[in-house]
Amino acid sequence: MPNAPTSPNSRSVRTARDVVRMVISGSIAVLAVGALRDAGAQSPGDLVAPPAIKSMGQPPLWQPYASAVATFGRNNDATGGVELGLFHSRGSPVNGLLGLAAEGYLFASDGGATGGARLLGVTRAINLGYGVDWDARENNYAFILSYNTAVRRGGILGRGTQLRVDWIPSRGSGLDVGITVPLGQPYAGRTRPRNTGVSLRDVARDATPHAPTATSTGACARRSSPTR
């Protein structure tokens, strides 16, 4: 039986289907070639490594320090000198409730150099140290009260330095005044920003509106003009 003649409508439908198939096939081929090209362009050497993060950890349990002091009002003619100490926290090193400190010092005086040693209990939460001072030249013991404060955030001179004031009542009620510097503690005084306030003048200057430009003025004029 001879084939029935194909109508024009069926031929146009098949032609449209063939065009759609070719378009889809071409798009897939183009996308595949682009993906292969991008994959080849990205080599392992082009990857950027994330920045290294160093953990600070807990505060060290053993914290060495040094102090330079000048003496005022002592009855043993000492004028000042240097002190070396080692602080050890008892319990949690974060709360600062209790710690122990051992110190040795060497002072200059009119009668020659003199030295000694100290054993202190320390409550850093209130910046106080209290204990016994031994003077090597006089070979006696005396009560000592020590006050240490950073004065401002980050330290009085930065890097965790502190103002130190020592009081020994039995040695003329004089005062030893100096600066304490932490040793081997790279994060001392550097964990928080020093500035704690905001200048209102700077805020007002930053909040001052800028003068309108010619472009913005023209745009505003066009938006505000009535539509004709």
Tens digit of each residue's pLDDT (9 = 90 or more) over 70-125: 999 887 788 899 999 999 998 887 788 999 999 999 999 887 888 999 999 999 99
Domain assignment of residue 224, yes or no: no
What whole-number distance in Å separates Cα of residue 47 and Cα of residue 155? 41
Beta partners for residue 167, in sequence order: 145, 175
Q: What percentage of residues in the chain have a pLDDT greater than 70?
A: 78
The first and second tokens of residue 32, run together, are 């595949």
pLDDT of residue 228: 46
CATH number at residue 95: 2.40.128
Q: Of all helices (H) and strands (E), which one includes residue 17?
A: helix 8-41
Residues 177-213 pLDDT 10s: 999 999 999 888 888 787 777 778 877 777 766 555 5
Domain assignment of residue 226, yes or no: no
Domain assignment of residue 20, yes or no: no
Q: Are 77 and 109 in contact (CB under 8 A)?
A: yes
Number of domains the chain contains? 1
The first and second tokens of residue 66, run together, are 């040094």
Q: How do 99-109 and 140-149 pair as beta strands? A: unpaired
Q: Are 42 and 69 in contact (CB under 8 A)?
A: no
Q: Which domain holds residue 158?
A: 62-182
Domain assignment of residue 197, yes or no: no
Position with higher pLDDT, 24 vs 134: 134
Q: Is 39 helix (H, G, I), strand (E, B) or coil?
A: helix
Domain assignment of residue 202, yes or no: no
Task: Kindly report the average pLDDT of the chain as a whole number.
Answer: 81
Cα separation values, 199 from 80, 126, 151, 204, Å: 41, 30, 21, 9
The residue written with tokens 């000694």 in the block is 116
For residue 209, the one-letter residue type is P
Domain assignment of residue 94, yes or no: yes
Mean pLDDT in residue range 41-69: 79
Domain assignment of residue 73, yes or no: yes
Domain assignment of residue 10, yes or no: no
